[in-house]
Amino acid sequence: MTNTQGIPDPVGRDGPPARDRKTQQRLARGEAAALGELYDQYAPLVYGLALRVLDDEEAADTVLTEVFSYLWQHPDAYEPKRGPLRSWLANMAHKHAVRRLRWSAIQAKAEEGGAAEDSDGDTEARIRDVSAAARADYIVTAMPAGLRAALELAYFKRHDYRRTAADLNVSEAEARRRLRLGLQLLSTAYHPPTPDGRPA
């Protein structure tokens, strides 16, 4: 499942829309406690995605501050009917990090007094690569525990579906289903669906 912000949104981890709507209303009323709760819950997600894109802890900290400052100053920018708040924050982190990465590339090019002709293409290729990696990270951390466990066994421990089924104490058919669904979700990180929801 993909939300309208373009971040793949695995089923099962995002809070109910009603809760997100109430949180937004609390922010609109200026309740600092609501922002603190969101920060405690989602700061690792925002920071982790920014760090994945920027590979710079200080820059990722800056993105973290920017995203939560923006939410505090513009609570109406988030529309609950368009998707979970978790996904909105992930999308904001990605946008801010990519903008900062592009700006860093422009500054570096200016300092070098003009880079090679393909430097812009190199920057865009890097942005595509780190964006896909960040989306993959988000998908893995957001997917239900059963899917994540199956993928980890298959990928990190090189288990086939039979061994995965035994380790997870599920049927072989269920292990195959989990692996297939997990891989389908991961594939959206590298081939995001088109705006109408079809695979790219």
What are φ and ψ of residue 5, in 5° steps? -85, -5
Looking at the chain, the domain(s) classified CATH 1.10.1740.10 span 1-142
pLDDT reported for residue 190: 67
Please compute the mean of the pLDDT values over residues 139-152 and round it to a whole number: 81
Q: Which of 7-11, 57-61, 136-140, 192-196 has the highest mean pLDDT?
A: 57-61
Rounded Cα distance between 124 and 113, Å, is 20
CATH 3.40.1440.60 applies to domain 1-142: no
Rounded Cα distance between 38 and 183, Å, is 30
pLDDT reported for residue 166: 92
pTM: 0.62
Please compute the mean of the pLDDT values over residues 145-166 and round it to a whole number: 86
Looking at the chain, the domain(s) classified CATH 1.10.10.10 span 145-200
Both tokens of residue 133?
Answer: 């990696």
Rounded Cα distance between 133 and 178, Å, is 21
Tell me which CATH code domain 145-200 carries: 1.10.10.10
